[in-house]
């Protein structure tokens, strides 16, 4: 008979144990954390501390799981080798650990009453994954807008989205629970909590969190219990601003219990504003009035993107903002430079703004080297590529991107040639952007560089910096032949470090050879070649390739029964798989194919997105082509 020590009160879903031959390393620093690799992590301070075991498993379908005092990870989520780990790999380890440790308090110590409040657990843990590792010198706070807010905006603009919090009676089955593990729960949850923390001040917010954890430890709660603690903190703090005394429950209920988010439209000539549910029906809102004193003044709302809403302006103000960016962009905060671009493109996709205004905002980027504006632009331009890379519009887009990226590539070229990286964290990410975009859009010196470094690798010398390996491997294989692909496949099989295997696995999807892509797809259902946990992400990589997307779609349809049988129809990542293989869909024929036989519930958002793509492409194809062609003729 095996007996265990008595545990604290815990939810059944958070109980786990393992039997293994793994070796353990222990570090004592107030809180005891048993890990299989030494990780520097700043503690989330709380009066309740935990003995925490952390284990890296070779084959686990989720990135990590926050069981009580025992956190399991994919190998690349906990372990990294400095000789092969990129900045992103290291950041992923730190932020994932912070996310899972946050769950020891939010989820384990204090547990939601039912799954309809899952957003509070996952949203808080996601928020803390950016806040909890700030002391490492990484500028992550601003990245929450890029990675979480903008991600949530995309999904929450659909009719088929859902509120952060549903009614308890609406969440009763296993599939209904698993469907909640989505971008709304994680990304919108984090974005809304960031908005609340900004509204209160982060110090007051964290004091309220500690009060909540102390008051409800070993108990079940609903989200309003947290708001009451935060309200008490706000009431006890002296503020000059009367508005900060606003009832938090009333302030937050619409963000939490209603689907979607607003777009604020500002007409600067008259001072009028309006608020509408983005894409859908109009909702009530305050209508402040203002007056610009100077005809040359521009207005910028939602500074640093503190609020979870988009902002639209009249065309005159959009043009003034564009001219300011082109004249001296440093006046506008970095976050807002990125959000202006993201708002403009998505408002244009919603038929509320001429797409040429959004496109014109990208022109100033030749003089900006900051990551957030560039990443915002590239994500939205990538959507245009997905819509048009099978049409005659693709040529002008490619040439424009090549011209746009050249100066950024040159800015980082010395680092690239010397095998070094910039000191600034976000600059390291933008160096990768520069190489990926330059090579994929045909910048000759980039392709030559990538092929040369890959050739050295084939000859036994891999001097490619870990940050750049994914981009350079991909470029070399995309412009290479079957022998380059076979070499990368051999290296993938030989690699023992998970992060390096992942880079090679991604790069193998970059080939333009149809027969190699089909072979690679077949490998995904052979666990001796591709681990079962990597099947979905490998298919997603192949679908990102314009040559691989139709192959991946056909493969998923052909093997749908196998996929649902092996992974379960309610599996969390099933929706992301369907989204990846259908992202390019923008024709009626593709819509008809999509409606044939796959899981209707998982497809709902994908179908809605395709319908929007069809309408938008019909209305804007010629406009987009003319704009890019016109810019090329000027330059």
**What is the domain-level CATH number for residue 137?**
1.10.390.10
Enumerate the H helices of 275-393 as residue ranges. 315-328, 334-349, 355-361, 371-388
- Residue 176 and residue 62 share a domain: yes
Counts of helices then strands in the chain (DSSP H, E): 28, 10
User: Catalytic positions, please?
Assistant: 100
Q: Which structural domain, as residue segments, surrounds residue 431?
A: 369-480
Q: Which residues pair with 313 in a beta bridge?
A: 266
- Residue 271 and residue 238 share a domain: no
- Residue 134 and residue 116 share a domain: yes
Residue 607: inside a domain:
no
Domain limit, last residue, from 480, 511, 529: 480
- Residue 435 and residue 317 share a domain: no
Residue 541: inside a domain:
no
- Residue 276 and residue 246 share a domain: no
Supply the pLDDT for residue 36. Answer: 36
DSSP secondary-structure letter at 148? Answer: I
Comparing C-alpha atoms, which of 595, 600, 588 is closest to residue 160?
Answer: 600
Domain limit, last residue, from 257, 285, 302: 257
Count: domains in the chain:
3
Phi then psi dihedrals of residue 33, to 5 deg? -125, 115
- Residue 128 and residue 253 share a domain: yes
- Residue 270 and residue 251 share a domain: no
Comparing C-alpha atoms, which of 124, 163, 121 is closest to residue 260?
Answer: 163
Q: Output 27-32 pairs: Cβ under 8 A, ≥24 positions apart.
A: none
Which residue matches tokens 């990135």? Answer: 63
- Residue 317 and residue 206 share a domain: no
Number of residues assigned to the chain: 635
Residue 16: inside a domain:
yes
Q: Say which residues have a Cβ less than 8 Å from residue 622's Cβ, sequence separation at least 6.
A: none
Supply the pLDDT for residue 221. Answer: 96
Residue 41: inside a domain:
yes
122 in a labelled binding site = yes
- Residue 285 and residue 227 share a domain: no
Domain limit, last residue, from 225, 257, 289: 257
425 in a labelled binding site = no
- Residue 279 and residue 249 share a domain: no
Distance CA 217, CA 198 (A): 26
Distance CA 359, CA 431 (A): 23
- Residue 285 and residue 178 share a domain: no
Supply the pLDDT for residue 264. Answer: 92
Kindly write down the DSSP assignment for every residue of 305-323, as one continuous string: G-SSSEEEE-HHHHHHHHH
Low-confidence ranges of the chain (pLDDT < 50): 30-45, 240, 280-290
Residue 620: inside a domain:
no
Distance CA 173, CA 630 (A): 54
Residue 261 contacts residue 246 (beta carbons within 8 Å): no
Residue 115: inside a domain:
yes
Comparing C-alpha atoms, which of 516, 444, 506, 497 is closest to residue 471?
Answer: 506
70-74: strand order across its sheet: 25-29, 31-35, 52-57, 70-74, 64-67
Residue 29: inside a domain:
yes
Comparing C-alpha atoms, which of 464, 473, 484 is closest to residue 507?
Answer: 473
Supply the pLDDT for residue 604. Answer: 77
Residue 304: inside a domain:
yes
Specify the pTM: 0.89
Name the helix (H) or strand (E) containing 112: strand 110-112
- Residue 178 and residue 52 share a domain: yes
């Amino acid at each position: 008979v095996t007996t265990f020590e008595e545990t604290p009160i815990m939810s059944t879903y958070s109980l786990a144990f393992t039997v293994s031959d793994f070796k353990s390393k222990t570090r004592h620093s107030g809180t005891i954390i048993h890990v299989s690799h030494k990780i520097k992590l700043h503690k989330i301070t709380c009066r309740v501390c935990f003995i925490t075991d952390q284990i890296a498993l070779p084959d686990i379908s989720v990135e990590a799981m926050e069981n009580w005092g025992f956190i399991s990870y994919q190998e690349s989520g906990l372990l990294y080798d400095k000789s092969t780990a990129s900045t992103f790999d290291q950041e992923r380890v730190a932020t994932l650990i912070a996310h899972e440790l946050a769950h020891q308090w939010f989820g384990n110590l204090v547990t939601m009453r039912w799954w309809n409040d899952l957003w509070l657990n996952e949203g808080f843990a996601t928020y803390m994954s950016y806040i909890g590792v700030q002391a490492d010198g990484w500028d992550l706070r601003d990245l929450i807008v890029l990675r979480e807010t903008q991600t949530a905006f995309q999904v929450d603009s659909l009719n088929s989205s859902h509120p952060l919090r549903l009614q308890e009676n609406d969440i009763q089955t296993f599939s209904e629970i698993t469907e909640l593990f989505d971008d709304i729960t994680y990304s919108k949850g984090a974005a809304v909590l960031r908005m609340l923390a900004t509204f209160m001040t982060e110090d007051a917010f964290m004091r309220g969190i500690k009060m909540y954890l102390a008051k409800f430890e070993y108990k079940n709660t609903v989200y309003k219990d947290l708001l009451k603690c935060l309200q008490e903190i706000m009431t006890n703090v002296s503020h000059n601003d009367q508005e900060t005394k606003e009832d938090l429950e009333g302030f937050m209920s619409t963000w939490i219990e209603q689907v979607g988010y607003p777009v604020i439209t500002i007409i600067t000539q008259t001072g009028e504003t309006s608020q509408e549910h983005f894409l859908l029906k109009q909702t009530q809102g305050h209508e402040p009035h203002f007056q610009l004193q100077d005809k040359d003044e521009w207005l910028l709302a939602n500074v640093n993107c503190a609020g979870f809403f988009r902002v639209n302006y009249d065309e005159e103000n959009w043009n003034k903002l564009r001219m300011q960016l082109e004249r001296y962009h440093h006046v506008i905060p970095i976050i807002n430079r990125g959000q202006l671009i993201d708002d403009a493109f998505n408002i244009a996709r919603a038929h509320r703004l001429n797409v040429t205004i959004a496109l014109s905002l990208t022109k100033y980027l030749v003089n900006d080297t900051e990551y957030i504006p560039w990443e915002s632009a590239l994500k939205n331009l990538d959507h245009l590529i997905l819509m048009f890379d099978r049409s005659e519009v693709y040529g002008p887009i490619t040439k424009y991107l090549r011209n746009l990226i050249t100066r950024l590539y040159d800015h980082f070229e010395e680092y690239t040639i010397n095998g070094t990286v910039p000191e600034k964290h976000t600059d390291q990410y933008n160096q990768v952007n520069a190489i990926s975009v330059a090579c994929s859009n045909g910048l000759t010196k980039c392709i030559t560089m990538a092929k040369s470094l890959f050739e050295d690798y084939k000859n036994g010398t891999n001097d490619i910096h870990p940050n750049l390996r994914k981009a350079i491997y991909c470029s070399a294989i995309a412009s290479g032949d079957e022998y380059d692909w076979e070499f990368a496949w051999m290296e993938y099989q030989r690699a023992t470090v998970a992060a390096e295997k992942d880079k090679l696995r991604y790069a193998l999807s970059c080939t333009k050879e149809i027969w190699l892509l089909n072979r690679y797809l077949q490998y995904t259902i052979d666990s001796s070649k591709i681990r079962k946990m990597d099947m979905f992400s490998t298919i997603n990589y192949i679908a990102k390739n314009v040559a691989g997307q139709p192959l991946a779609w056909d493969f998923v349809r052909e093997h749908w029964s196998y996929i649902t049988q092996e992974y379960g129809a309610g599996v969390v990542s099933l929706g992301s798989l369907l989204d990846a293989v259908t992202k390019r869909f923008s024709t009626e024929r593709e819509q008809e194919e999509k409606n044939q036989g796959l899981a209707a519930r998982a497809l709902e958002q994908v179908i809605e997105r395709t319908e929007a793509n069809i309408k938008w492409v019909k209305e804007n194809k010629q406009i987009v082509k003319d704009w890019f062609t016109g810019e090329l003729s000027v330059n």
